[in-house]
Amino acid sequence: MAFRSLTLLLDDIAYILDDVALLSKVAAKKTSGLLGDDLALNAEQVAGVRAARELPVVWAVTKGSFRNKLIIVPAALLLSAFLPGLIIPLLMIGGGYLCYEGFEKVFHRYTHRDHHEALPKDLETDLVALERDKIKGAIRTDFILSTEIIVVTLGTVAGAAFASQVLVLVGIAIVMTVGVYGLVAGIVKLDDGGLALTMKKGKALFARGQRSAGRLILSAAPYLMKGLSIAGTAAMFTVGGGILVHGIGVLENVRHEVSLAIAGLPGVEILFDAVAGIIFGAILLGVISLGDRIRRSVARHGTAE
């Protein structure tokens, strides 16, 4: 009897694992585009810190990302079970934040292009503050993107058993975190790897090839980081705009009609999301800036009285 019970238990476990493997594969396919955006965004977020501090910063963001998942996965399961109507509004708040952050970054970059501030007296303190801000910003952005990835994954496994849902969500959370931040670490240290290759000694063909590869990596690394910076900002608009368009039925219908009207143009839906994200970002920046001015004006009048 005990042996039969054990056999049945093992059969159940095997069935769940097969189910989990299949569901994980489907979920990975559906979230692959978002993972690409996550990679570009996070590589762009942690770029610009001191070379000696790049890996510690990536590790700090990785730990923050794991903490995000510890919150997001249980919260997603609870909301899906008890308050599924809250998922889309919460996602839209996150999408709005991405649009705002992306537009604020572009706006600040172009409106302060010719503005050169004097070097701070305490440069070391300033660099520490920059590093801390980079980490916080990257963790905030990771939270929003991770939430969307987990919600998309949850939608994929919605009809599965609860145990399968938990295993798939945990598996995707771990794989995406390790994979994304492993690649981010490799990208930010790419120039160091190139430099190491250029210093290889020897006259053999292999050694010369390594030095040539190192020089190629060093020359390409700045362009790669610049490209990731652009891709990361664009991802804020496409992901944030896509969330908001999906949450606003009228806009989703318009996007569908536009995609049908110009079906021959590839990526039309992504372009629509990006344009929507830019517009939403501009509106949110205007509203928030106006609110700050009103608040400061009220504070000044209150002080004067």
What digits encode the pLDDT tens for the residues 104-140? Answer: 988 988 876 554 444 455 555 566 777 888 888 888 8
Asked whether the CA dihedral 271, 275, 277, 278 is positive or negative, the reply is positive
DSSP alpha helix (H) spans, the chain: 2-46, 54-82, 87-111, 123-156, 162-188, 190-198, 205-247, 249-261, 268-304
Q: What pLDDT band is residue 226 in, cutting at 50, 70 and 90?
A: confident
| Among 73, 54, 263, 282, CA closest to 162 | 73
- How far does the chain reach from its first CA to its final CA, in angstroms? 85
* Mean pLDDT, residues 244-267: 87
Contact 153, 176 (CB under 8 A): no
Task: State the Cα–Cα distance between residues 135 and 63, nearest whole angstrom.
Answer: 10
pTM confidence score: 0.74
Q: What pLDDT band is residue 91 in, cutting at 50, 70 and 90?
A: confident
